[in-house]
Amino acid sequence: MNVTDTPTGSSPENENNSQESIRQLRTLFHDIRSPLTSILLWAQSLQIEADFDAGTEAEQEESNGEGPSAKRISEGAQAIERNALIQEKCIKDLETLIYKLVSR
């Protein structure tokens, strides 16, 4: 065994490949999360606005045909937020799994 050999048998080339893979994975996860963050923020913003509008709309009849009611917007925003959070959790779980596999 040479002094430069490692006991695990990994070479500097394998180490560089592993580091490059991790860098690419970090970029990929960032690219996935960026639009997801925007989706979550917009959903939360719509929900807050719809909840506010629902208070003023309670005095009026149901929407007068000018578009969706505040209640409907709130329900849609809640669905978007709920599903974006599920997707976010899946991405985190996938990221954890891949990092465990790469670091072996």
pLDDT digits (tens, 9 = 90+) for 24-68: 888 888 888 888 888 888 888 888 887 777 776 554 555 455 777
C-beta separation of 81 from 45 below 8 A? no
pTM (2 d.p.): 0.56
* Nearest residue to 23 via CA among 78, 98, 104: 98
C-beta separation of 1 from 46 below 8 A? no
> How many CB atoms neighbour CB 73 within 10 A?
19
Rounded to whole angstroms, how far apart are CA atoms 59 and 73?
Answer: 18
